[in-house]
Structure 1
């Protein structure tokens, strides 16, 4: 279809992609985290490509991930200062880490105090909509 020789010239492939409106970009990613309900897949040395086609962005991640169980000591890959505040929030919340940003969102939306917003988030397992509904 594209010619013989077992492959396609990379320059010709790039020209064809540009003609079809497909833009391919190599990203200089330091870390990629994929969160599932059971684990975090952490790629620390991944090669990441972003492809834009017809207004839709697709990311391709190539590398070997490290699997980390969910819910151990804050969030995987958090900046050091963020990890400390997440751990403090977890201690205050009895083990359930509620991000301060979520507390601020609920408090601003409902006019409740941050303490009330945090309690509502804890009662709803971090569900923003349910916490807002509870306080309204």
Structure 2
């Protein structure tokens, strides 16, 4: 997906509204599930917009994270190797349990700094 400047996006949305397109921001969406043959993609905590034009509805979805389930087995996408030393460091640095630190590290794709940011933003 291409990164879009938020101001540019707002400008484009205004132009689309002028052309008769209805735009609706869906609030409080927990997850979006895409069922494929043999697996599910679970888009967690997504920002979802519904665009309607000429009696067709299009959904624009930007997830915070993506989880994949294959035949009932849950897997994080992309797969990352998590080191016990990293978990210990994050738990000690942020004052959370090792389980919480492990989950944050998985959500951050193995990036220690990002995992710490996630935990600190959740404390606020």
Q: TM-score, normalised by structure 1?
A: 0.41
Structure whose alpha-carbon radius of gyration is higher: 1
Write 1 or 2 for the structure with the bigger share of strand: 2
Q: TM-score, normalised by structure 2?
A: 0.45
